[in-house]
Amino acid sequence: MEMKRYTYKQLSDMDKSYIWHPFTQMKAWEKEEILIIEKGKGNYLIDVNGKRYLDGVSSLWTNVHGHRKRQLDNAVIRQLKGIAHSTFLGLSHPGAILLSKMLIDIAPEGLKRVFYSDNGATAVEIAIKMALQYWFNMGRPERYIFVSLNNAYHGDTIGSVSVGGIGLFHSTYKPLLFKTIKAPSPYCYRCELGLEYPSCSLACAKEIDSMLSAHEDSIAALIIEPMVQAAGGFIISPPGYFKAIREITKKHDVLLIADEVATGFGRTGRMFASEHEHISPDIMAIAKGLSGGYLPVAATLTTQRVYDAFLGDYEEKKTFYHGHTYTANPLGVAAAIENLEIFRKENILKKIQPKIRHLKKGLERIAGLEHVGQIRQLGLMTGIELVKDRETKQPYSFEQRTGAKVCYEIRKYGIFLRPLDDVVVLMPPLSITKQEISHLLDSVEKAIKTVTEQ
């Protein structure tokens, strides 16, 4: 089908006639003027009318080095000339072999094996099944309970939703979910325990210690988004929290699963968020930025200890019976290799530091706005929580859709953002320039003022 033959109007009508978009109230969508993106260039999305939008959330937290990055384009084209896809069940391919070594080289110490899949939710499902079967294979089948956090988000498949903690997204599916133990979220701005950091002495972590003590023999693993509970509202854990969690899980011999799907690949200023507190998890899930935001590739990394528990003779049935058709797709893997090459060759992690400082400085101004409750920033990840009343921290009502209105308003300034309820999210590609950050912040300020002062 020749796409060029269609006008914006025709495409929009067809979209509204045939498509059901993710996380979207379609009743509203059908009435909206929708954006239809046809191209990308650098940090910009370009719609079918030729209008450019700064990709302020990196195409849902995936894009790393900008769109149409020459080296990434070429890597995928080169791979296409070899083969687009061959199965990873019973076969291997050079790209996946090379990428695995590259990932182990940069991953937190102790992670030694890479199990591929194709999106964040499956990388988490794999982590969960791997942890459970680890204990099963070790002759401890009673250790099957998972501990997860309130406000956690690990994806939308049933296992990932089971360890999720966002009522709005997850509570409907409760009858389908497996039982988990829910721990408090390290959300200092609205502390569940009614305490304040640092006088709380990380009471929320201590609560996890008590939970693990009480259920030690039945717990398989604790799953957590290191440093930032992303979809929960960019909740950044207080200093020392993540380290405490690692110590507590070690003490009780509970596996620690770090979900780095959102935080991995430089977003927080380090390659992986776990590095901020020098943590080595037992299992780590990665996706999104792994391919530079080009193609769906994901992986679950684990230690020698976990891997070894799956070794045995066939009749022992210790095999990990899990796999997806497009596991380790060669095109995606080629992009992922090039993504890591760009990190190394262009010294990206060093290059982003002044940008992070620039962002931090610019956010100070926004923090002073009347309806900004709290700004949470780690690296190039920022959440701006809007509130009706700063003094009492009273939120806006859900129906007001304040965050969504701000993101709609900001399109006027040539920026695309997507909020998390009333948290305005800024998560630009690492390739964003200081100038673009300034434009982003000026526009965010104007949009927040316009919407909240109405």
Residues near ligand PMP (CB under 6 A) are 119-121, 124, 153-155, 225, 230-231, 259, 261-262, 287
CB-wise, 124 or 301, nearer to ligand PMP?
124
Question: Hey, what are 404's tokens?
Answer: 């969504």
Q: Least separation, in Å, of the C-beta of 154 and ligand PMP?
A: 5
Q: Least separation, in Å, of the C-beta of 429 and ligand PMP?
A: 16
CB-wise, 285 or 337, nearer to ligand PMP?
285
**Of 454, 374, 413, nearest to 53 (Cα)?**
413
CB-wise, 133 or 151, nearer to ligand PMP?
151
CB-wise, 164 or 362, nearer to ligand PMP?
164
Q: Least separation, in Å, of the C-beta of 51 and ligand PMP?
A: 26
CB-wise, 225 or 445, nearer to ligand PMP?
225
- DSSP one-letter code for 122: H
Q: Least separation, in Å, of the C-beta of 288 and ligand PMP?
A: 6
Helix (H) or strand (E) holding 76: helix 70-82
Kindly report the number of other CB atoms within 10 A of residue 17's CB atom: 8
CB-wise, 124 or 128, nearer to ligand PMP?
124
Q: Least separation, in Å, of the C-beta of 4 and ligand PMP?
A: 31
Bridge partner list, 84: none
CA 126-59-115 angle, 5° bins = 20
- DSSP one-letter code for 299: E
Q: Least separation, in Å, of the C-beta of 267 and ligand PMP?
A: 10
CB-wise, 231 or 448, nearer to ligand PMP?
231
**Of 267, 328, 342, 271, nearest to 73 (Cα)?**
342
CA of residue 363 relative to chain centroid, distance: 22
Question: Hey, what are 150's tokens?
Answer: 């309130």
| 445: phi then psi, degrees, rounded to nearest 5 | -60, -50
Cα–Cα distance measured from residue 176 to residue 158, given in angstroms and rounded to the nearest whole number: 7
Q: Least separation, in Å, of the C-beta of 345 and ligand PMP?
A: 27
The residue of the chain with the least Cβ separation from ligand PMP equals 120
Bridge partner list, 45: 40, 53
